[in-house]
Amino acid sequence: MNSNELKALQAPLKSQYVDSPEAAIVSLNATGAVNIDDLTCHVESAPSPDGRTVSGLHPAAGGDGRAACSGDMLLQSLVACSGVTFAAVSTAMGMQISSATVTAHGTMDFRGTLGVDRDVPIGLTSVDLSFAVESSEPDEKIEKLIQLTERYCVVLQTLKNSVTVSSRRGE
């Protein structure tokens, strides 16, 4: 794809976002099933024929939907880390969990990343993380488990604490 092809691909989207700003707001999602027994979280993702995840533009930025969106991948990382942490903490607490699912929803306004409106933030503007838990444990214990999961999840804490990021040209 060359510059002209990319511009032609994104021009209708940019025009749409100028005319209807609400069309640029997209909800991204990631879900993972927690496996307490082996302390893993199986994050749902698009099938990959060669075992690699290929990332590309989100359809709201001109992608065709065949490649993983980096925003979805960020949410998948949050789900994976939260799920693994949930499994480890519930095991450490000696809790009996029948099943657990972690879901992350993120909101992003694509006018920012496409340069349609410089006042619109680039990237996710909100993330909602939820835990669906089936267990005979008391609600208070489940709530404590979720609190501890949030406290010890590396990805969640990184997002919440706005880590310093630097970018440079490599040598």
Once rounded to an integer, what is the mean pLDDT over residues 1-26? Answer: 91
Q: What is the C-alpha to C-alpha distance for residues 104 and 163, in angstroms, rounded to an integer?
A: 20
Lowest mean pLDDT among 21-35, 115-129, 137-151: 21-35
Decide if 65 contacts 59 (C-beta within 8 A): yes
- Report pLDDT for 27: 86
Report the predicted TM-score, pTM, of the whole model to 2 decimal places.
0.85
Domains in the chain, number:
1
pLDDT at position 121 over 70: yes
Instruction: Indicate which CATH number applies to the domain containing 104.
Output: 3.30.300.20
Once rounded to an integer, what is the mean pLDDT over residues 6-13? Answer: 91
Q: What is the C-alpha to C-alpha distance for residues 60 and 55, in angstroms, rounded to an integer?
A: 14
pLDDT at position 46 over 80: no
Amino acid at 166: S
Collapse the DSSP code of 15 into the 3-class scheme (helix H, G, I; strand E, B; otherwise coil) and give the result. Answer: helix
Which range marks the domain in which residue 155 is found? Answer: 3-47+54-160
Q: What is the C-alpha to C-alpha distance for residues 171 and 55, in angstroms, rounded to an integer?
A: 25
Once rounded to an integer, what is the mean pLDDT over residues 150-166? Answer: 93
Domain-located, residue 167 = no
Q: What is the C-alpha to C-alpha distance for residues 170 and 113, in angstroms, rounded to an integer?
A: 24
